[in-house]
Structure 1
Amino acid sequence: MKKSVLTRYRVMAYVTGVLLILLCLGMIAKYLLKMDGADDFTRVVSIAHGWLYVIYLVFAFDLGAKAKWPVKKQLWVLLAGTIPTAAFFVERRITPELQARFAQDAPAVAKA
């Protein structure tokens, strides 16, 4: 497994996480605070999150398949993009695990 697979996942986890937080703030502004312009903001952010979440799903599934995760863990990572702030916590939890695996898989450098 390459580090680029983890990097792609991490980028999309942060992007979808930020968009989901912005969407929640937009919904609060729209429905609770009844702010003007919140409707347009939430429409744009929700469309962006929807499309980018699909990319997040592809990258997360690819990561899980290459890491050979059990189904339960894979679902946990896939669903993290739908719960505000969950993508951040899940990403922070799996990154050290996978980085340790990269360190074990790296070949030893020959000393001169």
Structure 2
Amino acid sequence: MPNSPQNEDGGSLLKRTIEQLRSANSARPRAVDIPKIPGALTFYRVTAYITGIMLLLLVAEMIVKYGIGYSVYAFAPGHPVLALVPYNPAGGELAGLDVSTAILIAHGWLYVLYLIADFRLWSLMRMSFTKFVQIALGGVVPFMSFIVEHFITRQVHRFLAENPVKPKAASSTVEASH
């Protein structure tokens, strides 16, 4: 079994990546953006979980299709509502919904939404570009979105605890007269 890539001081690539994810030294949001961060974090967290689940479904679908040799179809005539049919790479697909392709397309579009959430949080927090790339890779490596989400959420919560969101001052109500 090959060893994981090592750097000159002996740390593995995975270990260095996790340490970089844990570090908050690159976050320097502007004061005006701090009230927007909790909403951006919620958006990011939701998309991270959805993307992670869809990626796991995609991996399972690929194992079923290419490892076992079946495609998943829904509402195919003459089959149960959800059916495993032998995979035919030459074509000749059944009528009905090809669940395998639907999972692939859904993950692709949800990953785009994940990237938008990643970009929004990254730009509000003003993190390093490396952190943006690490978060983005979380949506293409199985289970990684859950791990990255954990570290990023902890980092943002820590930042927000140290820099509380100031409540908006009560605006004076102005009544218009006719």
Structure 1 and Structure 2 fold alike (TM over 0.5): yes
Whole-angstrom CA distance in 2 between matches of 1:43 and 1:15: 17
Whole-angstrom CA distance in 1 between matches of 2:152 and 2:61: 29
Q: 2:55 aligned with 1:20, yes or no? A: yes
Letter in 2 for 1:19: M
Q: Deviations over 1:48-101 (max 9, x none)?
A: 011111111011011011111111111110121111111000001111110011
Classify 1:82/1:68 alpha carbon distance in 2 versus 1 (closer, same or farther; 3 Å). same
Letter in 1 for 2:41: L
How far is the alpha carbon of 1:41 from its aligned partner? 2.1
Could you say which structure has the greater relative contact order, defined with CA pairs below 8 angstroms and 6 or more residues apart? 1
So what's the TM-score if we normalise by structure 2?
0.57
What RMSD in Å do the two structures reach over aligned CA positions? 1.8
Can you give the 5+ residue segments of structure 1 that lack an aligned partner in the other structure?
none
Contact 2:49 2:146 in 1 (8 A): yes
Whole-angstrom CA distance in 2 between matches of 1:30 and 1:90: 28
Aligned-pair identity (%): 36
Question: Where does residue 41 of structure 1 map in the other structure?
Answer: 99
Contact 2:71 2:100 in 1 (8 A): no
Whole-angstrom CA distance in 1 between matches of 2:129 and 2:112: 19
Question: Where does residue 52 of structure 1 map in the other structure?
Answer: 110
Task: Say which SS state the counterpart of residue 139 (structure 2) adopts.
Answer: helix
How far is the alpha carbon of 1:23 from its aligned partner? 0.3
Task: Please identify which structure carries the higher strand content.
Answer: 2
Task: Say which SS state the counterpart of residue 70 (structure 2) adopts.
Answer: coil
Q: 2:42 aligned with 1:7, yes or no? A: yes
Aligned residues: 109
Question: Where does residue 30 of structure 1 map in the other structure?
Answer: 65
Whole-angstrom CA distance in 2 between matches of 1:108 and 1:23: 42
Question: Where does residue 101 of structure 1 map in the other structure?
Answer: 159
Deviates more, 1:32-41 or 1:49-58: 32-41
